[in-house]
């Protein structure tokens, strides 16, 4: 039996340093994960969880203010090791495609895995939808996630900078872009019956 291809629409939120007095050796760590799993154009599963940072577990005031995430929420999250186990379970090797808005999510995940001594959990194709969107519409600059969905006359799902809401919004834009791509594909040639209204033609000679 052929395995179904699966798309993983992923968004992570990360820790941020305070503007003053940067922490020695600081690097962004995942503190919230949102994933929308799609098979055969249907949402198969959703996953959302806060994640406890390994290296700098205490959130800065800037991070809490910008993301509207509290220390208590993060403290009740899963460990980074548990997150990686979940991602490995979702991957299914080459039969999955990871879709993100921008390249930061996968960059930070790779760095976090390297720092923790863990293998990167994905082995399939990765798509940066923001670059596809930029190339498709010929924009000079990369467009923000919620600005992109608004350019389609739509609204983002839930709240911006909440991982699952942003993952859902990424999925929405993916569907809109894929639909536009289909419109641009070469249409099937019309037949003479499509071009000529034979009923009008027969009436003319009746």
Q: Which position among 5, 39, 126, 161 bears the catalytic label?
A: 161
Name which of 147, 140, 146, 133 is nearest 181 in CA terms.
Answer: 133
Helix (H, G, I), strand (E, B) or coil at 14: strand
Report the alpha-carbon distance of residue 132 to residue 181 in Å, rounded.
Answer: 11
Token pair 């991070």 is found at 63
Q: Which residue has the tokens 């027969």?
A: 202
Distance CA 72, CA 107 (A): 26
Q: Which of 3, 5, 13, 45 is catalytic?
A: 13
Separation CA 24–CA 196 (nearest Å): 75
161 part of the active site: yes
**3 carries an active-site annotation:** no
Taking the C-alpha atoms of residue 106 and residue 30, their distance in angstroms, rounded to an integer, is 11
* Closest by Cα among 81, 61, 75, 78 to 16: 61
Is beta strand 78-79 parallel, antiparallel or unpaired with respect to 30-39? Answer: unpaired
Give the residue numbers annotated as catalytic, written as ranges.
13, 161
């Amino acid at each position: 039996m052929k395995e179904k291809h699966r798309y993983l629409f992923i968004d992570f939120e990360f820790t941020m340093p305070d503007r003053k007095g940067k922490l020695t050796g600081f690097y962004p760590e995942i503190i919230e994960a949102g994933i929308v799993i799609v098979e055969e154009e249907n949402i198969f599963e959703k996953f959302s969880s806060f994640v406890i940072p390994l290296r700098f577990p205490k959130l800065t005031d800037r991070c809490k203010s910008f993301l509207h995430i509290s220390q208590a929420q993060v403290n009740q999250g899963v460990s980074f090791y548990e997150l990686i186990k979940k991602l490995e379970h979702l991957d299914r090797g080459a039969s999955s495609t990871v879709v993100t808005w921008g390249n930061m999510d996968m960059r930070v995940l790779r760095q976090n895995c390297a720092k923790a001594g863990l293998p990167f959990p994905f082995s399939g194709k990765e798509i940066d939808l923001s670059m596809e969107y930029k190339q498709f519409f010929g924009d000079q600059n990369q467009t923000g996630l919620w600005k992109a969905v608004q350019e389609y006359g739509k609204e983002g799902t839930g709240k911006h900078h909440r991982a699952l809401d942003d993952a859902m919004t990424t999925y929405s834009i993916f569907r809109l872009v894929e639909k536009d791509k289909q419109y641009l594909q070469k249409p099937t040639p019309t037949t003479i019956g499509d071009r000529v209204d034979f009923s009008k033609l027969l009436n003319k000679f009746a």
